[in-house]
Structure 1
Amino acid sequence: MTGKTHILGGIAASLAYAHIANEDPMIMVGAGIVGALLPDICHSGSKLGRKLPLLSKIINTLFGHRTFTHSLLFLVLIASLMNAFFPNDVVKTGILVGMVSHYILDMATRNGIKLFFPLNLTVRFPVTTRTGSKVEGIVFSILTLISFYYGFQVLGFYL
């Protein structure tokens, strides 16, 4: 999936979580966007990879794309680091929700992800699409609708 779809996936997932858990939606969404972009640090052409090119190059050289940073191991590592160094639970949760949304979206692509890294097992949905395809455009539109729906919900407005 493209960066814009991952961002919108992070927004939709964060707003839905904020609605269900009654959390601050603004903080949750900001953190969700960061989390939704974080797994692609392993790709130098990604939004985050372009901002941190040296780190992106090192991670890509060590692990490749859609392996370690797209795994449950990475999710647990990030959660552990945030628990050790970052006291804000809403931000921590938002980042993790954004990361999970990224994983789910990438599992909908033909290449899938190495969710159980270091095992060389690719995880993808039975029906997949190509990054940047018309189907991704439909997914983007659905995520937009979900974002509007939950955005109105957490702001106290109802359709």
Structure 2
Amino acid sequence: LIVVSASSKQSDDTTCSYMDMTSDIQIKPSILKPIAREIPANKPFRCQLCGKSFSQAANLTAHKRVHTGERPFSCLICNRQFSQSSSLVTHRRTHTNERPYQCSHCDKKFTDSSTLTKHLRTHTGQKPYGCDICFMRFTQSGNLHRHMKTHKNL
């Protein structure tokens, strides 16, 4: 069991000792409680910044780019940069018009499997994302997040 704790000291600036950066993020005192989390045996590689665990060291290395903003993978055609090599592979398809993922219902083609998965929901009617407040359901997580803003004043 590893216990991750936060200091109860408040200031206008929050300093990250890991990256030696300062931010003006306001931290609510209610979240400054020690957090106890178990590391799953099948995910021994843990991010020291957010506590997320991974099964492979390479996945942790890739995840750390979320915190650092590093984008080491660059498109040779347009110079756009990516944090994940798989994102670069998918992006390259925009230049080549390669669309290897085909819908079995209407024959539309897509550059990546996740876009095909979202598209398939237009045929199946599946709405996997639900609001815990009013129980409306959505086909995409972004639509649920946008919807949640309607409940802000409740």
TM-score range, shorter chain: under 0.3
Relative contact order, higher structure (CA 8 A, sep 6+): 1
**Greater per-residue helix proportion:** 1
Rg: which structure is higher?
2
Instruction: Tell me the TM-score normalized by structure 1.
Output: 0.20
**Greater per-residue strand proportion:** 2
